[in-house]
Amino acid sequence: MCTKSLIENDILRRLQLTEVEILKEVVRICKENKLQYFLIGGTLLGAIRHKGFIPWDDDLDIAMPRKDYEKLLKLCEKELDSKYYLHSYYSDREYWLPFAKIRKNGTVFEDEHITSINSHKGIYIDIFPLDNANRQKSFIQDIQAKIVKRISNLVIQKRGLNVAEPGLVTKIILNMLKPIKLQSLTKFQTKVMSYNGRNDSEYHINLGSNYNYIKQTIPKEKYYPPIKVEFEGEFYNAPNDWHYILTRIYGDYMKLPPEDKRVTHNPVRLKFEGEDEIIF
C-alpha cells in the first residue's frame, strides 16, 4: 500500500488504459450480437477534441438503446470474460445506480462516497440506457425525471453511501420504505425510465445521467446511422451528428475549461491487477 496523487507516475494514464480494455470487451459482445452502442458525454467529447480521453478525465461512458442495453446485461451472464464483472441490479441486489457498470476483477476504484459499503469496487466503465421520448420536453418527461432522481436519492440513502445528511422529508420517506427491498426500488425506477415502449418515438432520452435530462433528450436521427470516431488509437461508434449533441450539452465544446474546472472523480483508493493498493 502506498500514497500517491492520481497523476503521479502516470497513474491516471494507466487507469484510462484499463478502462479502454474494458470498453473493448463490451464492444466485442456488442459486435458479436449486433447490439448498438455509442460513445457519449465526456468520452465522446474526448474522442472529438483529443482523439482519446480528455487528459484529466478518469471515467469512460457509453450508451445503448434500452432494448440493446437489456440484451447486453443478460448476455454478460454468459459471454462476459471472467476478468470482468457486470455490476447492475442483475448481479447485485444492493446495487444503487440507474445504469450499469462493467468492472475489472482484481482492481479497485473507490471514491469517497462508497468507502462505507461492501461491494465490488473494481475499475469500471459506465453504460447508460437510452429510453424513448415523444418530445424534447414535456410534462410527463419532467415527472419521469423527477421520480427517477428522487428514487436515486432514496436508494443512495437507503444503501448507506457516504453522502450529505438527508432532509426531513427524505428521512420520513426512508422510514416508510424500510420494509421495501432496495432491488424493488431500482426495478420500479427502471420501469419509470422505460415506460415509453414506443420504439418509433422521435427521441432518445438519457434519464440516468447527471446532466439535465432536457439536454440529454436528443432526436434519434442525430444518433443514426452511427459513425466511427477515433478514440485511443481505435475507432468506435459515435452518434451521427455528434456536433449537435456536444453543442447541446457543452456549448463551445472545443474550448478547454479553466484549470480549476478540470476535475476527476477523486478516488481515495485505487488498485491495478496484481499490484498493491494506492491511497490518495
Rounded CA-CA distance 173/268 in Å is: 31
pLDDT at 250 over 70: yes
At 3 the pLDDT is: 59
CA 127 – CA 62 distance, rounded (Å): 5
Q: How far apart are CA 35 and CA 166, in angstroms?
A: 39
Which cell numbers in the block locate residue 228? 466511427
Give per-residue pLDDT as tens, 178-200. 778 888 999 999 999 999 999 99
In this model, does residue 22 exceed pLDDT 90? yes
- Over 70: is that where the pLDDT of 231 sits? yes
What pLDDT is recorded for position 261?
A: 85
Nearest Cα residue to 217 out of 100, 99, 135, 97: 135
State the Cα angle at 163 between 160 and 165, rounded to 5°: 90
- For the question of whether the overall pTM of this predicted structure is more than 0.85, the answer is yes
pLDDT at residue 229 tops 90: yes
Element (H, E) at 156: helix 139-159
Q: Specify the pLDDT at position 172.
A: 79
Q: What is the pLDDT of residue 4?
A: 61
Per-residue pLDDT tens for 88-133? 988 999 999 999 999 999 999 999 989 989 999 999 999 999 999 9
Distance, in Å, from the CA atom of 15 to the CA atom of 103, rounded to the nearest integer, reads 12
Percent of the chain with pLDDT over 90: 77
Instruction: Report d(CA 117, CA 99) in Å as an integer.
Output: 19
pLDDT at 252: 97
Q: Where are the domains of the chain?
A: 2-279
**Coil/strand/helix, residue 61:** strand
Least-confidence region, from 35-39, 93-97, 99-103, 250-254: 93-97
How does the average pLDDT of the chain come out, rounded?
92
Give the model confidence (pLDDT) of 150-164 as tens digits: 899 888 888 888 676
Reported as a pLDDT band with limits 50, 70 and 90, residue 7 is low
Mean pLDDT of 197-210: 94
